[in-house]
Amino acid sequence: MNRTDTQTEVDMSSTHVDVFIIGAGISGIGAAYHLQKHCPDKSYAIIEGRSAVGGTWDLFRYPGIRSDSDMYTFGFNFKPWTSPKTIAPGEDIRQYIEEAANENGITKHIVFEHKAVSTNWCSETALWTTQVKDLASGELREFTSRVFYSCSGYYNYDAGFTPEFKNLTAYTGEFIHPQHWPQDLDYANKNIVVIGSGATAITLVPTLAKAAAKVTMLQRSPTYIASRPAEDAIANHLRRLLPAKMAYSLSRWKSILFGMITYRLAKTNPAKIKRYLITQIKETLGSEFDVKKHFTPSYNPWDQRVCLVPDGDLFDAINDGSAEIVTDHIESFNPTGITLKSGQTLEADIVVSATGLKAELFQGCQISIDHVVVNPAESHCYKGMMLSGLPNFVFSMGYTNASWTLKSDLVGEYFCRLLKYMDKKQQDYFLPTLPETPLDDEPFVDFSSGYIARAQKLMPKQASQKPWKLYQNYILDRITLGHSSVNDDCMTFNKRGVKPA
C-alpha cells in the first residue's frame, strides 16, 4: 500500500502500512496531510465507514446544518478558508474537506465503506493488526501497521441519543432524530416540535420556521446563546487587501485570541459575561419576552458550550412569530403531540429529538495488547492525544471551548515529530508510561453538558499534573506540542520484542 504519484486508489493487494488512520473527517484528512508533508517516506491508509469524506459533515444532513465555530479556526491550518461566510453551511464545509483531500492527493489513500472492528498490538513484531469489515459484503480482512491513529471522533455514527420518552409509541406523527434526517421529508405548513436547546436545535428551529406552519423549541432548561455576524467584515476586508494565506493567518489568529480572551473572562468573571449575553438577548427580543425563563441558564457561561446563532436568525424567527420557545418537562407523548408536566399540550405533526449524541470512542473498535482486551477508561490521557499503556497509539480529539481543528492540527504535527525522533533513535515503538507516584485524577472533560456526563464512564482519565493534564488552551498546546521534546520522563521508547510494561 505504498504511495506512488500515479496511484489512483488504495492498493488493496497490500495490507501493511506505517500508519493506519481511521476516519476521513476533518481530523483524518488533516492527519494525512501532515504525515505527507513532514514524513513523506511513511505509507498510510485511511479507513472510512462512509462512501465519502467529511465525517460529521457528510453524516449530518438536517436543514440548516452549519458550523458552531468560525471557519477561520475550524478550517485547516494549511488550507485558507476563502468563503465570505465565517459561520458556514454544512455543505460548504463538506466541500472544503473534499477539496483538501483531492488537492493533496489524500483521497487515493482512503478505503471507503470499511470499518475497523478490532485491533491487537503484538509485542514480538511491534505491529498493530486491525480487523477491518467491508460494510458492503460483510467480509473481514487484516491490516498491519506500525501506528494506529484514531481520527474517528467521539460519537456513534449509527445512532444518536434519544431519552426514554413516556408513551412515545402512542404518537402517530413523525418522530425524527436529526442524525438521520429523511431527505424526502416534507415539513412545509406542518407543526413541528424540536426537543432540545443545544447547537442542533437552535440551528434547526429558524431554518424549519421558514416553511413550517409553526416551530416550537421545547427545552428542559436554557442554553447560553450568542448572536454573531455570519460574515466577518474584518476578515473579508483583509482578504481583499492581502494574499490569501496571509489574510487567513491574520483572521485565524484574531479569532483564536478573541475566543481565548472571552473564555478566560467567562471563567474569571462569569457574572460579567452572563450579564452581557443576557442583555444582548433582551435587547433583541424586547422587554415583554421572558428572557429569564427561556434564555437564562442555571450554570455559568462555558460550563457548557455557548451556542452561536448567525445574524440572530433564531431571535428573528421568535420575533416574527414563526417560532416559539417553551421551557418545560415532558410528561408523556399522546397521539397528536406532547403533554407537558405543566399540563400544556403541544400539537405536532413532526417531533424532532435534537437530544444529542451517543458517545463512542475509536469508532467502537476493540483494542487489545497481546490479545488481552484494553479498557480505555482505565488509562490516563497523555498530552491529550495518547493513552498510558498503549504503544504506537494516537488519537485526535478537539477542544471543547474552541474549534476542533485547532487541536487536531497540533496533534498531527506533533505525531510527525515523534515519528522522526523514533527513526533517528532507531526505536520501534513509543509508550506513554505512568509515574510510580499516584496521580491526582480528574474527569477527562470538565464540562457539564449531557453528552459529556453520559460518556464519563467511557472516557480515559486525566490528572492535574503534566503531561497527563488535558489543557483547553491552544497557545499553551502550541508551545508544548510544537516545541517541547517528544522524549520526557513519561515517554518510553523500545525495540520490538520488548513487551510493554
List the domains of the chain with CATH numbers: 16-158+358-494 (3.50.50.60), 168-353 (3.50.50)
First to last CA, the chain: 32
Reduced to 3 states (helix: H, G, I; strand: E, B; else coil), residue 316 is helix
For residue 338, the one-letter residue type is I
Q: Are 283 and 60 in contact (CB under 8 A)?
A: no
- Give CA separation, 148 vs 154, 197, 416, in Å: 16, 36, 13
Distance CA 111, CA 115 (A): 9
At residue 463, the 3 state secondary structure works out as strand
Q: Are strands 174-176 and 350-353 parallel, antiparallel or unpaired?
A: parallel
Which residues partner with 155 through β-bridges?
Answer: 359
pLDDT by 10s per residue, the chain, length 501 = 333 333 335 555 558 999 999 999 999 999 999 999 999 999 999 999 999 999 999 999 999 999 988 999 999 999 999 999 999 999 999 999 999 999 999 999 999 999 999 999 999 999 999 999 999 999 999 999 999 999 998 888 998 889 999 999 999 999 999 999 999 999 999 999 999 999 999 999 999 999 999 999 999 999 999 999 999 999 999 999 999 999 999 999 999 999 999 999 999 999 999 999 999 999 999 989 999 999 999 999 988 889 999 999 999 999 999 999 999 999 999 999 999 999 999 999 999 999 988 888 898 999 999 999 999 989 999 999 999 999 999 999 888 888 999 999 999 999 999 999 999 999 999 999 998 888 887 776 665 556 566 667 778 888 888 899 888 889 999 998 988 899 998 999 999 877 776
SS (H, E, C) 361-397: CHHHCEEEECCEEECHHHCEEECCCEECCCCCEEECC
- Give residue 370's Cα distance to chain centre: 31
